[in-house]
A and B are shown apart, each in its own frame.
Chain A
Amino acid sequence: MRPEKTIYESAIERGVSRRDFLKVCTALAATLGLDYSQSGKVVQAMETNKRIPVIWLQLMDCTGCSESFIRSSHPRTENVLFDMISLEYHELLSAAAGHQIEENRERIMEQYKGEYILVVEGNVTDDEFLTVAGHSALESLKETAKHAKAVLAYGSCSAFGGLAAAKPNPTNAKAVSDVVRGVPIINVPGCPPIAEVMTGVIAHVITFGRLPELDRQGRPKAFYKLRIHDKCNRRAYFDAGLFVESFDDEGAKVGYCLYKVGCAGPTTYNACAEMRWNGGVSYPIQSGNPCIGCSEKNFWDEGPFFTRRAKIPGTQTTINPEKVGLYATGATAAGIAGHAALTAMKKKKDEKANSEKNSSQEG
């Protein structure tokens, strides 16, 4: 067996120039939310670390997470596949099929015990609702997770149960964390997650050799610490109390806030507004579509999607940045218009608005 090349070596050998390699590292650092001075760490990690073997199990999924993954623009998909990781088992992309691909899985588990990353896409289900290679996919998941360095639960289905777990949950769909124990699990929710978030989490593990900092739901804080609302390009209209009343109305053309047509941005933790989709082109709210909250637990059962949400944001405004995080969600729908109007007033009369924040509370 030849010794594995470091990421840097394999990139250089594949014809990537030192300059381009550094550019990739800088882009990665930006993706990871590091400041420029930290990009040296990324460079060093890439120069010295091996390509990490990855086993990617697709459970009851739609393959949308795999599709999103291959849309990554920084790092580019090709760099991820051939410079950063060694994707040895992937039902969508692997050349091998049948017993040959199962051999890949067994070989990696044996040869890289405790070193490989297990990616899971799709929800866990009872034995009879999914078999792969004649085996219960649930049992194969447990077996593969046992000696993984970490488990990456890509997408809302593997992180939280997702679509199949929506009522009445006919197949007893569950999250990976409901059945896997004793191995670190990183939840990367979204339906699907943003490509650069998916690859960014892997980049973090490679760069720093440890897991990113996670929140209480097991999500990397770097990408899920803010609500879409906090960085929304329509936020100014929310604060001014200007709302789209119906799709394609005059307000929609101007770019008013979509809250009243169902937008879940105020209660959804994700990086869509900041990173945007498909190389930063747009995201649902920018294109005039209310966010359906696809990275939140149980969002499928929080509908209907196009009527005003029962839960509204608290009083987070740009005027009171120090309060951000203290107030999350939970006031009544009726409070929203009032809140927005107050926010507008707040710009003139900050203190008065502060005293009327009673319509919000920790949700």
Chain B
Amino acid sequence: MTERIVVDPVTRIEGHLRIEADIENGVIKNALSSGTGVRGLEQIVTGRDPRDVWAFVQRVCGVCTTTHALASVRSVEDALDIKIPRNAQLIREIMNEAQFVHDHVVHFYHLHALDWVDVVSALSADPEETSKIAQSISDWAKSSPGYFREVQQKVQKVVDSGQLGIFANGYWGHEAYKLPPEVNLLAVAHYLEALEWQKEIVKIHTILGGKNPHPHYVVGGMATPIDINRDNSVNASQLTQISEIIDRAMEFVNKVYIPDLLAIGSYYKDWLHGGGIQNYMSFGDFSTGDVRDTKLYRMPRGIILNGNLNEVLDIDLRDPEQIKEFIDYSWYTYDGNSGGGKHPWEGETTLKYSGPNIPYKNLDEEEKYTWVKAPRWRENPMEVGPLARIMVGYAKGQPEIVNIVDDTLNKLNVPLSALQSALGRTVARGLETALIVQWLRNDMDALLNNIKNGDQVTFDRTMWDPDNWPKEAKGVGWMEAPRGALAHWVGIENGKTSKYQMVVPTTWLASPKDNKGQSGPYEAALKDTPVIDPDQPIEILRIIHSFDPCLACAVHLTDLKNKKTTEIKLS
């Protein structure tokens, strides 16, 4: 007997995602992933000053706030062939690395942990035992029995008040929760600590970009001036403040996040569902020099197909045959047709809702069912994100990645294939955080050194004035965002934005079926997963959260070349 279950809204993610799953004999036979909202941002930026576009598209997402702004300024600088000053390169790297660390820590504790951690169970923990466990896995200072007792009392009072707030109506007590109460208490304590800590690391953005969320950028470098002796520039005192924040971030990642991840992971290493497709793609990033020089990437670029780590293929984002977006199951049309694929350069966004009458009970996977398009690389669905980066980096032999992966697999006593699962994805996210927080330290040291050597330049004004631009230009800005490979394609004509297209991580991940009927990564990862209780499908949340969805990003793809009229048809 087949039963269809619906999870809508999927919470603890960015944006609006709906999952429908057919369960047969306790196992997911088939799943459907639908993005249920759209804004059409690419239409909005067309015709505007290319130097302003970063601010618009930055608002694609306020969680990965910074990544779309960076991809945008990179695309315009690619189109106009602008080389930004060394200090600006380093400041942008530092801001991006700070974003990754913030994003991954918040994802782990606040968006994902409650799939593995039972808050209510923490109430029956022995704080003495929790303290012993904490001290056995880390030398983080806040680990006394008294501290954990206090946290436990806080949770107890929230529960006793009858107003559970954000913890209301969770799947507490579900048999899929495997942690002992003491480890649950440890995780809850760190949930609260991380909530406090995340406010600190973003101050790097505030100093260098004025605020967070949504710090400021500028095409050609950074507007933030450096002068170590002046109070209105980034000066010695602010640089010291950033340095200290970075040191505290390293400490938090290495003494709290990573030990918690491995401790929790060790209880679930038998739950290896959620692997899905084994095609991995990374555009690569974290250059030690120019962002377009792929040889200088600390996070390597490449493609792995069908889990074959012996061969890493190359990617060309400018090649019209490689990346295409399909709309056979998405609420769009191309040139008036309801199907087909287009390279982002020729992209089009004509919204056309053809779903069921609202309100509806179910979507139909044989018809169009989402606002998310289906991007494909040479007609293959691709997983992007931490796991993809780690797999590509491992296959390419990047020493830091090989070392940390081998070391972790040893500690957990699992094979490499264990990474190809929901939990593996979550572990991969933690491992890259450990690397990136170190790169953050290195880049800050490089910045300090560069300034010490007398370079205080942050902005290149040679191409600022549109009078100096070619009449027509086009560029692509790519990067690795926390959720995966991201690229923006821009066209510039007579000083205005003539085209703008974004193909973003969650579009790859949450994509529906394509022209060949191939499922995207979410749908594929859910398939064949056993579900204990269809009324409390914690397994679906675990798998979907392991990808860290960002739906606001996913549904803003591609724009129209010639500003076609938006066509809306209600069924």
Chain A hits for B119, CB < 8 A: 95
Q: Is the CB of A96 within 8 A of B170?
A: yes
The DSSP consensus for interface residues of chain A is loop
Q: Could you give, for residues 1-33 of chain A, a 1 whenever the CB lies within 8 Å of some chain B CB and a 0 otherwise? A: 110110000100111000000000000000000
Give A137-173 interface residues, CB cut-off 8 Å to B: 137, 139, 163-164, 166-171, 173
Which of chain B's residues have a CB closer than 8 A to the CB of A248?
221-223, 225, 457-459, 461
Identify which of residues 106-161 in chain B touch chain A, using a CB-to-CB cut-off of 8 Å: 110-111, 114, 119, 150, 153-154, 157-158, 160-161
Q: Find out whether the CB atom of A253 lies under 8 angstroms from the CB atom of B206.
A: no
- Which of A91, A164, A191, A247: most chain B Cβ within 10 A? A247
A62 CB-CB contact with B under 8 Å: yes
State which of B12, B202, B220, B353 has its C-beta within 8 Å of the C-beta of A71: B202
Closest residue of chain A to B45, judged by CB? A166
Q: Is the CB of A134 within 8 A of B8?
A: yes
A305/B52 contact (C-beta < 8 A), A77-B196, A101-B11, A282-B207 known: yes
* B214, A64: Cβ atoms closer than 8 Å: yes
Q: B271 at interface (Cβ–Cβ under 8 A)?
A: no
| Given A191-B59, A192-B214, A278-B212, A95:B44 Cβ within 8 A | no
- Whether A253 and B230, one on each chain, are in contact in the complex, defined by CB atoms closer than 8 angstroms, is yes
Q: How far is the CB of B88 from chain A (nearest CB, A)?
A: 9
Are B52 and A306 in contact (CB-based, < 8 A)?
A: yes
A303 to B55, CA, bound (A): 11
* A273 CB to nearest B CB, Å: 11
Contact digits for B544-566, partner A, Cβ 8 Å, 1 yes 0 no: 00000000100000000001001
CA distance A300 to B536 in the complex (A): 43
**In the complex, which of the residues A95, A129, A303 contacts B37, with contact meaning CB atoms closer than 8 Å?**
A129
User: Which residues of A from 97 to 114 have beta carbons under 8 Å from B?
Assistant: 97-101, 103-104
Name the residue on B nearest A98 (C-beta): B7
Q: Give the chain B neighbours of A164 by CB distance below 8 A.
A: 39-41, 44
User: Could you list some 27 contacts between A and B, CB below 8 A?
Assistant: A4-B163, A15-B153, A60-B39, A61-B552, A63-B15, A66-B62, A67-B65, A87-B165, A88-B168, A91-B9, A91-B16, A95-B166, A96-B169, A125-B39, A128-B355, A130-B38, A191-B214, A247-B461, A247-B464, A272-B211, A277-B211, A278-B212, A279-B203, A281-B203, A287-B223, A287-B224, A288-B233
Of B114, B166, B195, B541, most A-chain CB atoms within 10 Å: B166
A63 contacts across to B, CB distance below 8 A: 14-15, 61-63, 552
CA–CA, A167 and B38, complex, Å = 15
| Cβ of B231 under 8 Å from chain A | yes
In the complex, which range does the number of interface residues on chain B fall in?
35 or more
Asked if A98 and B6 sit within 8 Å, CB to CB, the answer is yes
Whether A92 lies near B36 (C-beta < 8 A) is: no
- Is B516 in the interface zone, CB < 8 Å from A? no
Stretch at the interface among B310-318, B358-366, B411-419: B358-366
Pairwise interchain contact A289-B203, C-beta atoms closer than 8 A: no
In addition to A96-B11, A247-B459, 15 A-B residue pairs with Cβ atoms within 8 Å of each other are A14-B153, A71-B212, A77-B199, A87-B165, A95-B169, A125-B37, A125-B39, A163-B39, A255-B232, A282-B206, A283-B211, A284-B210, A285-B210, A286-B232, A289-B218
Q: Mark B166-180, 1 if CB is under 8 A from A, else 0.
A: 111111000000000
B219 to chain A, nearest CB (A): 9
- Interchain CB contact under 8 A, B210 and A282: yes
- Flag whether A347 is at the interface (Cβ < 8 A): no
**Interface-central residue, A90, A98, A101, by most chain B CB under 10 Å:** A98
Nearest-neighbour CB distance to chain B for A149, whole angstroms, equals: 16
Residue of A nearest to B363 (CB): A134
Closest to B351 in A: A170
Interface check A76, CB cutoff 8 A: yes
Interface magnitude class on chain A = 35 or more
A15-B38 in contact given A96-B168, A278-B199 (Cβ < 8 Å): no
Q: Please give me the residue from chain B that is nearest to A246 by CB atom.
A: B461
What string of 1s and 0s marks CB contacts (under 8 Å) between B320-360 and chain A? Answer: 00000000000000000000000000000001010100111
Q: Interface code A272-312, partner B: CB below 8 Å = 1, 0 otherwise?
A: 10000111011111111110101000001001111000000
Among A58, A99, A127, A255, which residue has its beta carbon within 8 angstroms of that of B358?
A: A127
Cβ 8 A contact of B210, one of A4, A78, A167, A277: A277
Residues of B with C-beta under 8 A to A253: 225-227, 230, 232-233, 456
Are the CB atoms of B157 and A14 closer together than 8 Å? yes
Give CA–CA (A78, B158) in the complex, Å: 12
Binding site for B on A (CB under 8 A): 1-2, 4-5, 10, 13-15, 51, 53, 58-68, 70-73, 76-78, 81-82, 85-88, 90-101, 103-104, 125-137, 139, 163-164, 166-171, 173, 191-192, 233-234, 246-248, 252-255, 261, 272, 277-279, 281-290, 292, 294, 300, 303-306
Cα A68 to Cα B213 with chains together (Å): 6
Distance between B189 CB and nearest chain A CB, rounded to angstroms:
12
Q: Which residue of A lies closest to B11 (CB)?
A: A97
Collect the chain A residues with CB atoms within 8 Å of residue B459's CB. 246-248
Instruction: Give the docked Cα–Cα distance between A141 and B61 (Å).
Output: 22
A134 near B51 (CB under 8 angstroms)? no
Taken together as a complex, chains A and B put the C-alpha atoms of A91 and B199 apart, in Å, by 20
Known: A70-B198, A192-B213. A62 touches B62 (CB 8 A): yes
As a 0/1 sequence over residues 471 to 484 of chain B, the CB contacts with chain A under 8 angstroms (1 = contact) are: 00000000000000
Contact B52 A88, beta carbon cutoff 8 Å = no
CB contacts (< 8 Å) of A99 on chain B: these are 6
Q: Please report the C-alpha to C-alpha distance between residue A292 and residue B358 in the assembled complex, in whole angstroms.
A: 38
Given known A136-B358, A306-B52, A306-B218, contact A95–B566 (CB-CB < 8 A): no
8 smallest beta-carbon distances between A and B, as pairs: A64-B62, A255-B232, A284-B210, A95-B170, A170-B40, A248-B459, A289-B216, A86-B163
In chain B, positions 216-259 with a C-beta closer than 8 Å to chain A are 216, 218, 220-227, 230-234
Taking a contact as CB atoms closer than 8 A, the residue among A14, A246, A277, A285 that contacts B206 in the complex is: A277
Bound-state CA distance A173–B16 (Å) is 17
B491 proximal to A (CB < 8 A): no
Q: A286: nearest residue on chain B (CB-CB)?
A: B210
A300/B162 in contact, CB under 8 A: no
The answer to whether residues A173 and B52 also contact, given A134-B358, A248-B459 and a CB cut-off of 8 A, is: no
- Residue B27, interface by CB 8 Å: no
Q: Could you say which residues of chain B place their CB within 8 Å of the CB of A96?
A: 11, 168-170
Indicate whether A95 sits within 8 Å of B223 (C-beta atoms), given known contacts A86-B163, A284-B211, A305-B52.
no
B309 interfacial by beta-carbon distance below 8 Å = no
B407 at the interface (CB under 8 A from A): no
- Docked Cα-Cα span, A252 to B160, in Å, equals 55
A285 to B209, CA, bound (A): 9
Q: Smallest Cβ distance from B413 to chain A, in angstroms?
A: 31
Q: Are A94 and B213 in contact (CB under 8 A)?
A: no
B233 lies within 8 A of A64 (CB): no
Q: How far is the CB of B237 from chain A (nearest CB, A)?
A: 12
B208 located at the interface, meaning its Cβ lies under 8 Å from any Cβ of chain A in the complex: yes
Query: Is B43 part of the contact surface with A, judged by Cβ < 8 Å?
Result: yes
B411 to chain A, nearest CB (A): 29
Residues of B within 8 A of A51 (CB): 161, 163, 165
A101 to B9, CA, bound (A): 8
Interface pair A98/B10, CB less than 8 Å apart:
yes
Partner of A287, one of B44, B158, B209, B568: B209
Q: Are A104 and B223 in contact (CB under 8 A)?
A: no
Closest to A195 in B: B199
Knowing A15-B150, A63-B63, A279-B203 touch, does A86 contact B165 (C-beta < 8 A)? yes
8 A Cβ contacts from B443-471 to A: 456-459, 461, 464
8 Å CB contact of A98 from B9, B39, B211: B9
CA distance A169 to B353 in the complex (A): 16
Which residue of chain A lies nearest to B5 when distances are taken between CB atoms in the complex? A98
B409 within 8 A of A: no
Q: Is the CB of A65 within 8 A of B62?
A: yes
Decide: B212 and A95 in contact? CB cutoff 8 A: no
**Smallest beta-carbon distance A339→chain B, Å:** 22
Q: Are B358 and A166 in contact (CB under 8 A)?
A: no
- The answer to whether B210 touches A88 (Cβ under 8 A) is no
A82 to B163, CA, bound (A): 9
